[in-house]
Structure formats: C-alpha cells, structure tokens
Amino acid sequence: MRTEMSFDSIDLAPSPDRFHRDVLTGLSRPQKMIDSKFLYDRRGSELFELICDVPEYYPTRTECSILRSFGAEIGEALKGRCLLIEPGSGSPTKLRLLRPHLEIAAYVPIEISAAMLRLSTQQLQAMDPELRVLPICADFTQPIQLPELHDVRPSRRVIFFPGSTIGNFHPPDAVRLLTHFGNLVGPGGGLLIGVDRRKPREHFLRAYDDEAGVTAAFNLNLLQRLNREVGADFKPQTFSHQVIYNDALARVEMHLRSEITQVVRVCGTPFSFQEGETIHTECSYKYAPGDFVALAAKAGFILNHSWTDSEKLFSVYYLCQGDGGSRDRSSQMTVF
C-alpha cells in the first residue's frame, strides 16, 4: 500500500509484488540473501538513525566532522547554484551541515521509505522554509525522471551521496550505479560522496555489532517486515545477528543466522534452514582512496577534490562528470 504524503512529491516506490519477487528469488539462492534496501522500512529507518549515534559507529560521526570542518571548501568546490540530488536521503542531518556553504536552487531527496521521506521533508520545510524541496519516493537504483525546474536554471546538477552507501554495492554494481548517477547529472555535473576506508577488522566488528544491540535490532527487524508484508512466518527469536569481515574482498558482511534447523514459509513457499545457515542481508565494501577513484573513473567521474580526517578513517570526495575538470586536491582535518 502506498502512503499518501502531505506535500508535493513524486511517488515511484517499488510495488509490493516486486518486493515479494525479490525476496523469493534471494531466498532461493545457495547463499540465501535479501537486498539491503529492504532493511529500510519505517522501523528500519528509525533504527538506522539510532545506529548513527552509538559510540562504536564511527562513520557518521567522522563524516559529519569532515563536512563541518570543510564545509566552506566543499562549497567552493561545487561553485554556483546547483540542483542538489540526494539518493537514499534519510535524515537531513548532513545536508544541514552543508547548507550554509552551498547555493541550492532546489533539493531533491530520493528515499525508498515514504514515512522517512515525509518526516525529513517536513523537518526541512520547518527549519529552512526558503529551501525548495522536491521529494521523490523511489528506489534510487532504478531509472528516475527528475522534476522540471521551469523558473530556475541551476549551474549544474550535483548528487550528494554520503554515509558510504556506495559500499553496499558489489564493485560492478557500484560502477553501474555511478554510471546511472553520471547520466542524472550530465556533463559537468558533480558527485559529492562519502566513502569508508580500509582499516583493521576490529574497527568494523565493533562498529557493526554495537554493545547496545541496536544494529542487531536493525538487522532482525527485516524478519518482522517479511512476516508483516510478504506473509512469512519467521520466528525472529530463532535467528541472531552475525557480522563477518571478509578481508579478501575488503567488506563487512551482515547476516541473519538460524540458531536451529527449521522450515520457514514465505508467500506459501517453504524454505529450509539448517542450524547455522544464514541470510546475507548487507555488504559494506571499504576502499583505499586510489581504489575508489579508479572505480569512479570507470563511470566517467574525475576526482576534483577530497577531504579526510586526521586518522584517515573516512573520506569525502567531490568528483566531476565529463568536462568538470580535475584538480586532485586533498585536505586533512583533526577530529576532536
């Protein structure tokens, strides 16, 4: 069921039928899996916002520190009035850090969760009534027609993609997504993107399995969503949250591990689980700077500028499409 919104928006949200098909296909694989985008129903989105505040989860805290310290430099790199597009927008926290430094003709948040999109848009309208917000409820990996701006002509389109969300895509899929972004912004358009860096596994295991159990609740919430929306009969208490760091692939993996041998029905289809068998729910690839720049180059993006923290835990890159130019400047900050 689609949710009505109280503001002007474009609704391209995936249909329930597609959700059902994707779940059945993923659970039929030798390594059972469900796409990480389905973690973000209303409750999942709320839990992810809580994850961003737990002490062990460094990416949000570090990225926000970079945006706060280098906001003026970022604004200078982007130049002029831009149409700012944020796929997977979630909470507007990071946008608010950049807002004083950017000239924004209009802001286009794209969010798969209608409830989260409504909440964040209402927050922005209340806090920044001068900002023109054109929300789209959609899966940002699919083709999207951006709204027409008849009364303003931005100097360029820029995609803002913070949070190291690019790490949730296998490298070939990441290249396809960045190519999709390049098509959206066009020649001379830009991409401002946050990327988590490679580091010892202990950092990742703590960050993705916090002591308070918020990330575990986020992962297990997927089973509740499946029970509610696709007629499954998962018993969440018989599954546990599992985190693995795959050093060979430089990625964190989240799984839901069956603690018993059992049969679960989804849309009437039975799926057998052996004790210890898992559903793979999320990957988070980590990139050395040179590796990420090379990945983005495959999609036609050229490095313009990069920023990092003093511990080199996280990077923010500004890349340009086509004739956007390459300056390859880098800045480093101290994190307090």
- Which tens digit of pLDDT belongs to each residue from 73-106? 999 999 889 999 999 988 888 999 999 999 999 9
The string of pLDDT tens digits covering residues 210-246 is 999 999 999 999 999 999 999 999 999 999 999 999 9
Q: Is 306's pLDDT higher than 90?
A: yes
In percent, the amount of the chain with pLDDT more than 90 equals 72
Position 47 confidence tier, pLDDT thresholds 50, 70, 90: very high
Between residues 149 and 8, which one has the greater pLDDT? 149
Q: Is 268's pLDDT higher than 80?
A: yes
Please give the domain boundaries of the chain with CATH numbers for all domains: 1-231+285-336 (3.40.50.150)
CA distances (Å), origin 37, targets 33, 203, 232: 12, 24, 18
Position 9 confidence tier, pLDDT thresholds 50, 70, 90: low
Q: Is 271's pLDDT higher than 70?
A: yes
Q: Is 4's pLDDT higher than 80?
A: no
Looking at mean pLDDT, say which of 153-157, 217-221, 318-322, 323-327 comes out highest. Answer: 217-221
For the segment 277-286, the average pLDDT, to the nearest whole number, is 97
For the segment 286-292, the average pLDDT, to the nearest whole number, is 96
For the segment 96-123, the average pLDDT, to the nearest whole number, is 90
Sequence-distant (≥ 6) Cβ neighbours of residue 64 within 8 angstroms: 93, 94, 97
End-to-end CA distance of the chain: 45
Between residues 126 and 217, which one has the greater pLDDT? 217
CA distances (Å), origin 317, targets 21, 141, 156, 330: 36, 20, 17, 9
Position 13 confidence tier, pLDDT thresholds 50, 70, 90: low
Instruction: Look at the alpha carbons of 101, 107, 113, 119 in this order and tell me if their dihedral is positive or negative.
Output: positive
Across the chain, mean pLDDT equals: 90
Q: Say what the pTM is.
A: 0.88
